[in-house]
Amino acid sequence: MRKLSLLTFAAVLCFVGLTSMAYASDPVHWGYEGDIGPDKWGDLSPDFAACSTGVEQSPVDIVADAPVNEADIQFNYQPSALTVVNNGHTIQANYDEGSSIVVDGTTYNLLQFHFHEHSENTIAGEPGAMEVHFVHRNDSGDLAVVGAMLNVGAESESLAPVWTNMPAEEGEPVAVDGATVSADDILPADRTYYRFNGSLTTPPCSEGVTWLVMTNPIEISEEQLASFQQIHSGNYRPVQPMNDREFFVSADMDTAPAEMEAEMEEEALDTEMEAEMTEAAPETASETPAALPQTGGENNSVMLSMLLGSTGLIIFLGGLKLRRRAVLVRKDS
């Protein structure tokens, strides 16, 4: 009898272990329409809760009377070798180390840039034809995104290297031999901008992101727009409520120390999680560094391996390996 219940116990644990493994190897699938669209993201995983419960979510409508910042972001951008990826959600160019911006004395390193069609943020209710997001991270793990609208006009020569190498199908990053890209050339010449606090615009929708959106658009040709649309169209999250947030100018920030302190505390919490995640997958660093569900699967696995001896250990290692693969494969915008 006792032997039987032990066997039953072991069988149950095996089942739990296998379930846990299946879960770890299967990152939560999300998209831009239907059952996995933006209004469902918060329900797809507990890790995506901020998508529905967050109060400082992105994108937003930048109201017509939003204050305009002087061009006081310091851009230290260098050209980069071109590594381009179709991650299933967008086209993304991963950027070489060594390019950064300085905002309020804090340096944020440029990780990658990617595109949405149409734009995610809107200005006075109007979307751009597309929007580019330059994603940066500081040493504490806080993110800053420089956004710019792409509107139809003259062809963008600086975007041409990306456009001519966009993978039509989802896949691994491709290093394009001999091709370089210059973020500095892609951005508009006039760097005045809108500023607000927000979130990742993709699951897990983590908040604490500094948003810096150029007031001036970048021009792309009709053909460039059309060729992007052939690969990704409608890959944007609708605008989210501003709630208690305000658009502000960086120079005014010193006037609200109490508010800032509270914000910094919040950001520190987000940072802890994001830093952990991005450490695991530096080469896929993106606007959504927190790629993995964190529901205690690892703790379960540890307990299992102890209880089940070598069988448990095998399940645990298998789970870890798959989980690691999931991290490496997972790329978001």
Please choose, out of 131-139, 183-191, 263-271, 302-310, the segment that lies near Zn ion by the rule CB under 5 A. 131-139
For residues 175, 157, 32 and 267, what is the CA-based torsion angle, rounded to 10 degrees? Answer: 80
Token pair belonging to 318: 């298998």
For 244, phi then psi, to 5°, come to -85, 5
In the complex, least distance from residue 204 CB atom to Zn ion, rounded to whole angstroms: 14
Q: Which is nearer to Zn ion, 133 or 323 (CB)?
A: 133
Nearest approach, Cβ of residue 231 and Zn ion (Å): 15
Residue nearest to Zn ion (CB): 133
* Residue with Cβ nearer Zn ion (148 or 315): 148
Residue choice 133, 137, 191, 232 for contact with Zn ion (CB under 5 A): 133
Amino acid at 72: D
Query: Whole-number minimum distance, CB 201 to Zn ion, in Å?
Result: 5
Q: Whole-angstrom Cα distance, residue 53 to residue 95?
A: 32
Residue 132 or 315 having the CB closest to Zn ion:
132
Q: Which stretch binds Zn ion (CB under 5 A): 16-24, 125-133, 277-285, 296-304?
A: 125-133
Applying CB under 5 A, does 118 fall inside the site for Zn ion?
no
Q: Which residue do the tokens 């050209």 mark?
A: 79
* Residues touching Zn ion, count (CB under 5 A): 2
Q: Is 95 exposed, middle or buried (0-12, 13-18, 19+ CB in 10 A)?
A: buried
Task: Provide the strand spans (E) within 128-206.
Answer: 130-137, 143-152, 174-181, 193-199
Select 80 or 333, whichever has its Cβ closest to Zn ion. 333
Q: Write 295-299 long-range contacts (CB < 8 A, 24+).
A: 295/46, 295/47, 297/20, 297/23, 297/24, 297/323, 298/323
CB of 314 to Zn ion, least distance (A): 40
Q: How far is CA 270 from the centre of its chain?
A: 13
In angstroms, what is the minimal distance from the CB of 12 to Zn ion? 43
- Minimum CB separation of residue 236 from Zn ion in Å reads 8
- Binding of Zn ion at residue 331 (CB under 5 A)? no
Residues that bind Zn ion (CB under 5 A): 133, 333
